[in-house]
Structure 1
């Protein structure tokens, strides 16, 4: 699995500013957490979804492709870091 944190730099009040994704080998999202400017969190995964968050409908682009877009700041994170955010979002 790959664990990715992406900061999305924008001014839309109804879109997340942080995206956490657990990806399989083909880069399909398995679990996802979105954090909004207000602190609200949404999640999606095998057990369901909440907060308007859905898993991607296609594999995520490569790290390099995401990093090449000035609106996004990707970072590879640990499973432990992802699981902490997941627990907070789903708890």
Structure 2
């Protein structure tokens, strides 16, 4: 029997005042904790997305494994939490429609 792949989903809220940076990031992580797909939500409502076949000057998949939630949450301006696949898919669908 083969090893089961462990896909996980994370939402990170970033509290800041930078107009050109996202305030929420939704990430789908593979079993190696590398991002597979990502959605960024901006203060003005703008959405952007990336996957293995698409990135832009403003969004791309992480180049290192995604940190543990405890590590992210140790920084005051971030709040990271595990979300469901359905929550990620809803954000992904909204971002894909917006582009």
Higher strand proportion, which one? 1
What is the CA distance between 1:26 and its match in structure 2? 1.7
Note if contact 2:54-2:60 (Cα within 8 Å) is conserved in structure 1: no
Other structure's SS at 2:55 match? strand
Stretches (4+) displaced over 3 A: none
Per-residue Cα deviation, 1:32-60 (whole angstroms, up to 9, x for no partner): 00000000011001332357211111111
Please name the residue that 1:22 is paired with: 28
Change (3 A) 1:50 1:39: farther
TM (norm. structure 2) is: 0.86
What is the CA distance between 1:72 and its match in structure 2? 0.4
**CA-atom RMSD in angstroms:** 1.3
Note if contact 1:21-1:30 (Cα within 8 Å) is conserved in structure 2: yes
User: Structure 2 unaligned runs (5+)?
Assistant: 1-6
TM (norm. structure 1) is: 0.93
Please name the residue that 1:41 is paired with: 47
Is the radius of gyration larger for structure 1 or structure 2?
Answer: 2
Distance in 2 between residues matched to 1:42 and 1:51, nearest whole Å = 11
Distance in 2 between residues matched to 1:33 and 1:50, nearest whole Å = 12
User: Structure 1 unaligned runs (5+)?
Assistant: none
